[in-house]
Amino acid sequence: MKSSYTLLSQSSRCAARAGEIRTLHGTIQTPVFMPVGTQATVKGMTPENLLAIGAQIILANTYHLFLRPGHTLIQQFGGLHKFMNWDGPILTDSGGFQIYSLKELARITEEGATFKSHLDGSTLFLSPEDAVSVQEALGSDIMMCLDTCIPYPASREEASNATALTARWAERCRKAQRPTGQLLFGIVQGGMYPDLRARSVEDMTSIGFDGYALGGLSVGEPSEVMYEMTAQTAALLPYEFPKYVMGVGTPEDLVECVFRGVDMFDCVMPTRNARNGMLFTSRGRLVIKNACYYNDPLPADENCGCYTCRNYSRAYLRHLYMAKEILASLLNTIHNLHYFVNLMKQMRMAISADRFEEFRREFYEMREQEIPTV
Mean pLDDT calculated for residue range 139-158? 96
- From CA 178, how far away is CA 160, in angstroms rounded? 30
* Residue 50 counted as domain residue: no
292 & 210 share domain? no
pLDDT (0 to 100) of residue 43: 97
In a domain, 45, yes or no: no
Provide the pLDDT for residue 105: 75
What band does 78 get if pLDDT is binned at 50, 70 and 90?
A: very high
Co-location of 324 and 254 in the same domain: no
Indicate the residue among 263, 287, 322 that finishes a domain.
263
Q: Which amino acid is at 57?
A: I
CB 269, CB 210: distance < 8 Å? no
368 in helix, strand or coil? coil
- Whether residue 51 lies inside any domain: the answer is no
Half-sphere exposure of 349 (CA within 13 A, CB side): 7
The pTM (predicted TM-score) of the whole model is 0.97
Check pLDDT > 80 for residue 1. Answer: no
Q: Catalytic site residues?
A: 93, 266
Looking at the fold, whether 136 and 184 belong to one and the same domain comes out as yes
* Domain with 290 in it: 274-367
Burial 44-67 (b: 16+ CB within 10 A, else e): bbebebbeebebbbbbbbbbbbbb
Q: Is residue 44 part of a domain?
A: no
Per DSSP, 125 falls in state E
Q: Are residues 200 and 242 in the same domain?
A: yes
Mean per-residue pLDDT over the chain, rounded: 96
Q: What is the pLDDT of residues 251-288, one digit of tens each?
A: 999 999 999 999 999 999 999 999 999 999 999 999 99
Q: How many domains does the chain have?
A: 2
Q: What is the CATH number of the domain that holds 192?
A: 3.20.20.105
Residue pair 229/211 in contact (Cβ under 8 Å)? The answer is no
Domain end position, chosen among 221, 237, 263? 263
Q: Are residues 122 and 182 in the same domain?
A: yes
Residues 317 and 189 in one domain: no
Q: Are residues 30 and 107 in the same domain?
A: yes
Check whether residue 185 and residue 154 sit in a common domain: yes
E strand or H helix at 213: strand 211-214
Same domain for 154 and 30, yes or no, is yes
Candidates 314, 311, 279; CA nearest to 293 is 314
Task: Classify residue 28: in a domain, yes or no.
Answer: yes
Q: In sequence order, which residues have a C-beta less than 8 Å from that of residue 162 and are 6 or more positions away?
A: 148, 149, 150, 154, 189, 191
Task: Show which of 240, 263, 286 is a domain's final residue.
Answer: 263
**Are 164 and 239 contained in the same domain?**
yes
Q: Does the residue 40 lie in any domain?
A: no
Q: Are 66 and 95 in contact (CB under 8 A)?
A: yes
The tens digit of pLDDT for each residue in 15-28 reads 999 999 999 999 99
Q: Name the band, by pLDDT with cuts 50, 70 and 90, for residue 374.
A: confident
